[in-house]
Amino acid sequence: MQQLLNGLFIGSIYALFAIGFTLVFGILDRLNLAHPAVFAASAFVGIELVERAGLSIWLAIPLVLVFGGIVGLVVERVAFRPLKGRPDAHFAGLISSIALAGMVIALLQWRYGPDTRRFPAGSFPDTRLQIAGAQVTVVQVVILVVSIGLMVGLTLLVTRSRLGRGMRAIAENPNAARVLGVDVDRVTATTFAISSALGAVAGVLFAMNVNSAQLGMGTAIELKGLAVIIVGGMGSLPGALVGGLVLGLAEVFAVQYIGSSWRDLIAFGLLFAILLLRPQGLFGARKVRQV
Amino acid sequence: MRTKLTTCAVAAATALALTACGSDEGGEAEGDGSNAQTGEGTGEDCVIEGDVAVGAALSLTGAAASYGESQQRGLELAAAHLAESDGVTYDLTIEDDQTDPRQGITVFEQFVNADVSVIIGPTLSNGAFQAQPIAQEAGVPVLAISNTAGGITEQGDYIFRDSLTEQQVIPQTIAQATETYGLERVIVMYSNDDAFTESGYEVFAASLEEEGIEVIETLTFAKADTDFRTLLTEARDAEPDAIVVSALIEAAIPLVTQARELGIDVPIIGGNGFNNPQLMADAGDAAEGVVVGAAWNSSSDNPENTAFLEAYEAEFDAPPDQFAAQAYTGLMLIDQAVRANCSADHDAIQEALGGLQDVPTVLGELSINEDRDAEHTAVVQVVEDGAFAVLE
């Protein structure tokens, strides 16, 4: 039971991170590799807000969400928009977002130094809950609730709202969407903002979960995020959710039943096996490449 | 390239003249930091013209940055102290190896090419195994100030260290903990992707066997991991008498915090990586009951130590850790060795370092044994009320 919950907590963070990743990919067909840097930056910003401004961590989460959104706008403006007219815009955007990620990490190092940073002692309520014999902290419950809440909210936004319709129209065909009166630039920018906001919240939640933020934390989760969105089906939101949870649980149960040294091998092997069985991913639609 | 420069340096040394070596480095041609320096007198009266060049490769960024920072402070403090005494002056250059063995190699090559008299570092044993052979090959003495893995000094006769090995400290730690807590069954955890923690684990395993303690299970993780709940849940369910951990401080802090969160209240016995005041600062109450063996007894009242504590606090407004103490001692030992033969020549320093006996240092009376390792007494500590206390 404890292990199941451990898997759910870490899996929900993977999912939240991957959903931001896959949103941009699914709608705009762009891979934003500045996403892991936003993840790391927001963890540091979250800690700064609690430490310097003395805010409670509960208030820090929505502020980090806003911070992430703003960074998302910057990423789109700097790394993607200037290149969108190029014939190799996919690849160029990929590279320029890596460059931007490097700059963000360099800025973080300049501002915060190389050390691991932590929330000041006493920022978390140390109440422990007993759930079916498992020890759970309030923070972990909050992580799960916030992650699931944001993912549900995003799904509603994409399926129900006017903005969501715009996003889906662009995903289908950007030119047609423009002809039909969708403000493509605005929707694109908003998509980046939402994506980064989710990545940012994932970052601060991750930092809360393990009470530490490191410069390399984005790189560590980047590969997992990519694995999750590929397994879930590129661009599929429910796929990223399920993929994240599957990866979290796979890691936990690999440790429990096979051995801690085999964790990554088992977890990634499992993902690989899924891909062999369903090359399009769990929730991906089989696409015929247009020539 | 390296061979050519060394030959050139030797030529310059024999000729004792400013010969043009056709080298673009220019270092030894100008005579600053050259290993050709030999002065007059011995010991405290030794006078050497020009600065004795000392290079230090420390991990100032990356996973081991917190150790590197302490070491940097220790070295700078030592350099400041040495600058107060007459006769020999040091030109200390500290370079960052970014906790990356490849970068460590580059830094060592730089130092060898610049013809420093002696090299300090690198911070982690991992990097040491890659970088130190470069100095050995070039015949430049190296003093390791924090490597605790086995086999460091076996790399060659120019490699020395002032840090006690895990082999020296861990058996004492396990023996003392067994006596105090009556350990019978333990869980062992270590990060298996790092030379330092892996070698620490091997000594733990051997010491546990020696004491006849049953190891219920051995759990491994990666040194960059921060979420240990899964492993700790495994550990908790096995109901051990203690958890024995070989990890770096970056992993130790979340590991200890999460263990207490999960309701594990048995002692956690750590390797050298746990020996850092940051543990108490960042893990808070969770750090209580952590047992760690150490080379440096911070509460020792020998005069060198009290002076060091005072000076460090005054300079940096924070208490020093063992890494700072060993770094400080390192430069002091180098000073002893340089003054012993009154020479900044590589071979003279090598010979003198090997001959150091009963030197009073911050770490206690220190001797270099025939394996070029330091020997002095260790101390077993336990965290009580947010500070290290001697475990009895």
Instruction: Choose among A256, A223, A270, A197: nearest CA to A16.
Output: A197
- Averages of pLDDT over runs of 10 residues in chain B (392 residues) are 47 44 39 57 82 95 86 96 91 93 95 95 91 95 90 94 89 92 94 85 93 93 86 92 92 91 92 83 88 88 93 93 94 94 93 94 94 91 88 84
Give domain status of residue A143, yes or no.
Answer: yes
* pLDDT single digits (tens) B6-22: 444 444 444 444 444 43
CA distance B288 to B35: 49
On average, the pLDDT of chain A sits at: 86
Give domain status of residue B388, yes or no.
Answer: no
* pLDDT single digits (tens) A15-35: 999 998 889 988 888 889 999
State residue B155's pLDDT score.
Answer: 93
Give domain status of residue A106, yes or no.
Answer: yes
Least CB-CB distance to A135: which of B61, B261, B282? B261
Give the residue from B244, B272, B294 where a domain finishes.
B294
Instruction: Choose among A260, A115, A221, A204: nearest CA to B249.
Output: A115
Give the residue from B230, B260, B294 where a domain finishes.
B294
Q: Do B146 and B187 fall into the same domain?
A: no
- For B242, the 3-state DSSP assignment is strand
Least CB-CB distance to A210: which of B60, B62, B254? B254
Least CB-CB distance to B220: which of A109, A252, A261? A261
Adjacent-strand bridge partners of B143: B120, B160
Q: A133-142, A176-185, B215-224, B258-267: lowest mean pLDDT where? A: A133-142
Question: Which residue range forms the structural domain that includes residue A48?
Answer: 13-121+139-224
Question: Which residue range forms the structural domain that includes residue B252?
Answer: 167-294
* pLDDT single digits (tens) A28-71: 888 899 999 999 999 999 999 998 888 888 888 999 999 999 99
Q: Do B201 and B268 fall into the same domain?
A: yes
* pLDDT single digits (tens) B156-189: 999 999 999 888 889 989 999 999 999 999 999 9
Q: Do A2 and B233 touch (CB under 8 A)?
A: yes
CA distance B188 to B209: 12
Q: Please give the tally of structural domains in chain B.
A: 2
- List Cβ neighbours of B78 (8 Å cut-off, separation of 6 or more): B327, B328, B329, B330, B331, B332
Least CB-CB distance to B262: which of A9, A10, A135? A135
Q: Do A7 and B192 touch (CB under 8 A)?
A: no
* B120 touches B142 (CB < 8 A): yes
State residue A286's pLDDT score.
Answer: 57
Give domain status of residue A253, yes or no.
Answer: no
- For A43, the 3-state DSSP assignment is helix
Give domain status of residue A198, yes or no.
Answer: yes
CA distance B164 to B169: 7
Whole-Å CA distances, A140 to A35, A197, A206, A210: 23, 20, 10, 10
Give domain status of residue B54, yes or no.
Answer: yes
Q: Do B36 and B159 fall into the same domain?
A: yes
CA distance B11 to B22: 12
Q: Do B352 and B278 fall into the same domain?
A: no
Q: Do A128 and B261 touch (CB under 8 A)?
A: yes
Q: Please give the tally of structural domains in chain A.
A: 1
Interface confidence (ipTM) of the complex: 0.78
Residue of B nearest to A213 (CA): B226
* B144 touches B154 (CB < 8 A): no
Least CB-CB distance to B282: which of A114, A118, A216? A118
Give domain status of residue B268, yes or no.
Answer: yes
Phi, psi values for residue A58, rounded to 5°: -65, -35
| Chain A interface disruption, residue of B123, B226, B258, most A CBs within 10 A | B226
CA distance A75 to A103: 11
Q: Do B107 and B218 fall into the same domain?
A: no
- CA of residue B180 relative to chain centroid, distance: 28
Q: Do B173 and B281 fall into the same domain?
A: yes
Burial (Cβ within 10 Å: 0-12, 13-18, ≥19) of residue A150: buried
Give domain status of residue A246, yes or no.
Answer: no
CA distance B87 to A176: 82
Give domain status of residue A17, yes or no.
Answer: yes
State residue A285's pLDDT score.
Answer: 66
Q: Do B120 and B218 fall into the same domain?
A: no
Chain B hits for A264, CB-CB cut-off 8 Å, are: 222
The predicted model scores a pTM of 0.72
Residue of A nearest to B250 (CA): A116
Q: Do A255 and B229 touch (CB under 8 A)?
A: no
- For A135, the 3-state DSSP assignment is strand
Instruction: Choose among B198, B76, B179, B175: nearest CA to B125.
Output: B198
Residue of B nearest to A133 (CA): B262
State residue A99's pLDDT score.
Answer: 93
Q: Do B289 and B312 fall into the same domain?
A: no
Give domain status of residue A76, yes or no.
Answer: yes
State residue B15's pLDDT score.
Answer: 46
Q: Do B149 and B192 fall into the same domain?
A: no
Give domain status of residue A69, yes or no.
Answer: yes
Q: Do B221 and B286 fall into the same domain?
A: yes
Give domain status of residue B143, yes or no.
Answer: yes
Q: Do A255 and B261 touch (CB under 8 A)?
A: no
Give domain status of residue B326, yes or no.
Answer: yes
Give domain status of residue B386, yes or no.
Answer: no
Chain B hits for A210, CB-CB cut-off 8 Å, are: 226-227, 254, 258
Chain A hits for B237, CB-CB cut-off 8 Å, are: 2
Looking only at the bridges linking them, the beta strands covering A134-137 and A128-131 are antiparallel
| Chain A interface disruption, residue of B229, B250, B257, most A CBs within 10 A | B229
Q: Do B254 and A137 touch (CB under 8 A)?
A: no
* B375 touches B367 (CB < 8 A): yes
The pair of structure tokens assigned to A169 is: 């129209």
Give the residue from B236, B267, B294 where a domain finishes.
B294
Chain A hits for B256, CB-CB cut-off 8 Å, are: none
Residue of A nearest to B222 (CA): A261
Q: Do B257 and A2 touch (CB under 8 A)?
A: no
Q: Do B99 and B160 fall into the same domain?
A: yes
Q: Do B233 and A3 touch (CB under 8 A)?
A: yes
Residue of B nearest to A214 (CA): B63
CATH code, domain carrying B315: 3.40.50.2300
Q: Do B85 and B154 fall into the same domain?
A: yes
Q: Do B61 and A252 touch (CB under 8 A)?
A: no
> What are the residues of chain B with a beta carbon less than 8 Å away from any beta carbon of chain A?
60-63, 65-66, 69, 192, 219-222, 224, 226-227, 229-231, 233-234, 236-237, 250, 253-254, 257-258, 261-263, 282, 284
State residue B210's pLDDT score.
Answer: 92
* pLDDT single digits (tens) A84-103: 888 887 888 889 999 999 99
